[in-house]
Amino acid sequence: MMWKLAGLLTAAALAPAATFHQSGFRAEAGGLPAGWRLWAARPEIAPKVYVDDVHSRGEAGSLVISGASNAAVYGGWEHVVDGIEAGSWYRLTAWYRAEGLSYEPGQVVARLDWRDRSGRRAGQPDYAYRTERAGTWRRVTLEAPAPEQASAVAIQLFLAHAPLGTVWWDDISLEPIPPPGPREVTVAAINYRPSGSKSPAENVERFIEAVEKAVPGKVDLILLPEGITLVGTGKKYADVAEPVPGPTTTRLGEYARRRNAWIVAGIYEREAPAIYNTAILLDRQGRLAGKYRKVYLPREEIEGGLRPGDDFPVFQTDFGRIGIMICWDLQYADPARHLALKGAELVLLPIWGGNEALPKARAIENQIYLAASGYNHPTYILDPEGRTLATAPELGQAAIATLDLNRRFVDKWLGWMKGRFMKELRLDLPLAQPGFEP
């Protein structure tokens, strides 16, 4: 059984039903503010909690958690709000400042632990991970629906495994919000491979013709494969490399404008002596909205004179945030992880060929939608659970699917996986190549 330092308060003594806000805290009986208690799994790992009258965002008084030199410390403040309606949406907002931490994203925890009428857990806890800085304070927010059977929720503000850490919490609120509703985007990934072309421009025209046949209806985003200006021409990278913007962005931009669709396509980019394996992003008006230079180059591309990129950009579109990987990037875990941590909801993968098991892993481990357009690799669209939503098994076909970027993927036993990914991912452990350790 979980150990609680203070006795469980009755629902009648708690905050107003389904809505709660408090800024300014005053210690009362036992040194704790009314309605708040200390939570810890075991007495020996309980943190020290108290009210500080000096540090606050508004009214005097904030909730403090100290690691108290306990290496195993985990726990903190808990407040139960009654009157929750199952299926309704709520927004948690909490402000904190901290010091003495070695890995703040994992050591400062704010979550909602849903309860049924008997006080038992309903569904699984939801973790707040969206964070914004405002001076010396940070604001964390979470928007989540109350699960079935929920009639109350515990606001939990914790310090985790930070023996030298101290965190101050203030200006804490829980409020009902309208359900977000669907946020849909229709994506078309193209399976096409020209041959016998005499020029990059001819290839581009043939890809446009293929899209016209495979995608006659309205879509929001069209994904083409890697190196569309090279495949089937018999030429080398340097022969087809061009500036960005350049002739291919101009022609695809015209097509994007005519289709009123975003387009992602792989080309070869020249900048002075450097040549990059690049994916371009064009918006609905045909403008160059961004580009990604392939970071992980295989040996064959390095020996062919290509230079790797050095960033994983994420792009804001009119339907959500997207990221791009190219082919060999799939072989390594960090490109998709970078993109997910930067907020990418959908990752586009122009690819020549590669391991067919890895895309599912990248989608699942990062909780992202993933669409691929390939040559020696299948063309498909995956959801964040790695399930195939659409495929294009034959040349000249398109994998087309409508994705709801607001859909929450919840595991019955594990809970909302996106929140857990963000809060439980360990990025604090040193990593070095053998022989290059510090």
Residue whose structure tokens are 């569309």: 228
Distances (CA, A) of 267 to 191, 279, 312, 412: 16, 6, 17, 43
Amino acid making up residue 159: L
Q: What is the pLDDT, as a whole number, of residue 365?
A: 96
Structure tokens at 199: 């020029």
* pLDDT value of position 337: 97
Residue 119, phi-psi category: left (phi > 0), alpha (psi -120 to 50), beta (remainder): left
Specify whether the CB–CB gap between 336 and 304 falls below 8 A: no
258: left (phi over 0), alpha (psi -120 to 50) or beta: alpha
- List b or e across 184-199, with b for residues whose CB sees 16 or more CB atoms inside 10 angstroms: ebbbbbbbbbbeebee
Angle formed at CA 260 by CA 220 and CA 399, multiple of 5 degrees: 35
Q: Which two tokens stand for residue 118?
A: 């008997």
- Per-residue pLDDT tens digits of the chain, which is 438 residues long: 334 433 333 333 333 357 899 999 999 988 899 999 999 999 999 999 999 999 999 889 999 999 999 999 999 999 999 999 999 999 999 999 999 999 999 999 999 999 999 999 999 999 999 999 999 999 999 999 999 999 999 999 999 999 999 999 999 999 999 999 999 999 999 999 999 999 999 999 999 999 999 999 999 999 999 999 999 999 999 999 999 999 999 999 999 999 999 999 999 999 999 999 999 999 999 999 999 999 999 999 999 999 999 999 999 999 999 999 999 999 999 999 999 999 999 999 999 999 999 999 999 999 999 999 999 999 999 999 999 999 999 999 999 999 999 999 999 899 999 999 999 999 999 888 898 877
- What distance in Å separates the CA atoms of residue 346 and residue 89, rounded to the nearest whole number? 24
Tokens of 418: 């996106």
Q: Which amino acid is at 198?
A: K
Among 3.40.50.150, 3.40.30.10, 2.60.120.260, 3.30.470.20, what is the CATH number of 3-177?
A: 2.60.120.260
Q: How many other CB atoms sit within 10 Å of the CB of residue 438?
A: 4
Written in H, E and C, the secondary structure of the chain is CCEECCCCCCHHHCECCCCEEECCCCCCHHHCCCCCEEEECCHHHCCEEEEECCCCCCCCCEEEEECCCCCCCEEEEEEEEECCCCCCEEEEEEEEEEECCCCHHHHEEEEEEEECCCCCECCCCEECCEEEEECCEEEEEEEEECCCCCCEEEEEEEEECCCCCEEEEEEEEEEEECCCCCCEEEEEEEECCCCCCCCHHHHHHHHHHHHHHHCCCCCCEEECCCCCCCCCCCCCHHHHCECCCCHHHHHHHHHHHHHCCEEEEEEEEEECCEEEEEEEEECCCCCEEEEEECCCCCHHHHHCCCCCCCCCCEEECCCCEEEECCHHHHHCCHHHHHHHHCCCCEEEEEECCCCCCHHHHHHHHHCCEEEEEECCCCCEEECCCCCEEEECCCCCEEEEEEEECCCCCEECCCEEHHHHHHHHCCCCCCCCCCCCCC
At residue 158, the pLDDT reads: 98
- Residues near 141 by Cβ (< 8 Å), separated by ≥ 6? 91, 92, 93, 128, 130, 132
The neighbour count for residue 214, using CB atoms within 10 Å, is: 21
CA 201 distance to own-chain centroid: 36
Long-range contacts of 302-305 (CB under 8 A, 24+ apart): 304/236, 304/237, 305/237, 305/238, 305/275
Q: Where are the domains of the chain?
A: 3-177, 184-409
Q: Closest Cα to residue 98, out of 108, 112, 90, 109?
A: 108
So what's the pLDDT on residue 187? 98
Q: Which CATH class is domain 184-409?
A: alpha beta
d(CA 216, CA 251) in angstroms, rounded, equals 19
Rg (CA), the chain: 26
Angle, helix 358-366 to helix 334-341, in steps of 10 degrees: 30
Q: In this predicted structure, what is the pLDDT of residue 368?
A: 98
Chain centroid to CA 145 = 19
